[in-house]
Amino acid sequence: MRAPRETVIFRRPVMVELVPYGSQIELDPGMMGQITQSLGGNFTLVVDGQMVRLKGSDADAIGKEPPSAQQDADDGDETDLEERVWNTLRTCYDPEIPVDIVELGLVYACVLTPMDDGRTHVGIQMTLTAPGCGMGEAIANEVADKVLALKGVGEVNVDMVFDPPWDRSRMSEAAQLALGV
């Protein structure tokens, strides 16, 4: 049985992204919505029958706490940068699917290259569950922003690729179980 959705009221004007189109609209104070997903620091809501994604930085618009600034796990420890990048990618979600992009099999490659200034360039190749998904740019931007916030990362390049095309066989067993496929 599915948990009941939490109803919220927007407390201030806020820009949200329409799912699955990716276009932005402004919601007015007093509008009601229901939270369908709260993962990776963002919120997916249904407002007036339309699915929207609210960035975590705007959580106060629905009376929620914004996620704390991303904590980099390497302060004084030996955690490998590549491991930290992959862990960060596991905090990124398609707003329609409650499984992270790594478990969905959307990340095809992650290449770390040293830069002259001692930092690291991170090149990520990823895809979408459907080539026409309008949320692709939003997901890619979230990936780039989160990875760039990691200590030691100097540049991030996220390339959307569609060859080979994504299919359900790329999902981890855990993702398949979570989605009932």
The model's confidence at residue 123, banded by pLDDT at 50, 70 and 90, is very high
CA angle 122, 42, 140 (to 5 degrees): 30
CATH number at residue 133: 3.30.300.130
70: in domain = no
CB within 8 Å of 107: residues ≥ 6 apart: 89, 101, 124, 125, 126
Q: Examine the domain organization and report whether 90 and 136 are in the same domain.
A: yes
CATH number at residue 40: 2.30.30.40
Q: Examine the domain organization and report whether 55 and 111 are in the same domain.
A: no
166: in domain = yes
Q: Examine the domain organization and report whether 95 and 58 are in the same domain.
A: no
Q: What is the pLDDT of residues 47-99, one digit of tens each?
A: 999 999 999 999 999 999 988 754 444 443 457 999 999 999 999 998 889 99
72: in domain = no
Domain boundaries, position 35: 6-62
Q: Examine the domain organization and report whether 42 and 87 are in the same domain.
A: no
Q: Are 162 and 127 in contact (CB under 8 A)?
A: yes
Q: What is the pLDDT of residues 126-174, one digit of tens each?
A: 999 988 888 999 999 999 999 999 999 999 999 999 999 999 999 999 8
Q: Examine residue 29 and say whether the peptide bond preceding it is cis (omega within 30 degrees of 0).
A: no
**Nearest alpha carbon to residue 90 among 143, 45, 131:** 143
Q: Examine the domain organization and report whether 93 and 48 are in the same domain.
A: no
Q: Examine the domain organization and report whether 91 and 161 are in the same domain.
A: yes
Identity (one letter) of the amino acid at 12? R
Q: Are 43 and 37 in contact (CB under 8 A)?
A: yes
pLDDT at residue 103, as a whole number = 96
Q: Examine the domain organization and report whether 23 and 88 are in the same domain.
A: no
Identity (one letter) of the amino acid at 167? D
25: in domain = yes
More confident residue, 181 or 46: 46
Instruction: Tally the domains of the chain.
Output: 2
CB within 8 Å of 61: residues ≥ 6 apart: 10, 11, 12, 13, 14, 27, 54
- What 3-state DSSP class applies to 107? strand
Q: Are 66 and 57 in contact (CB under 8 A)?
A: yes
Entry pTM: 0.83
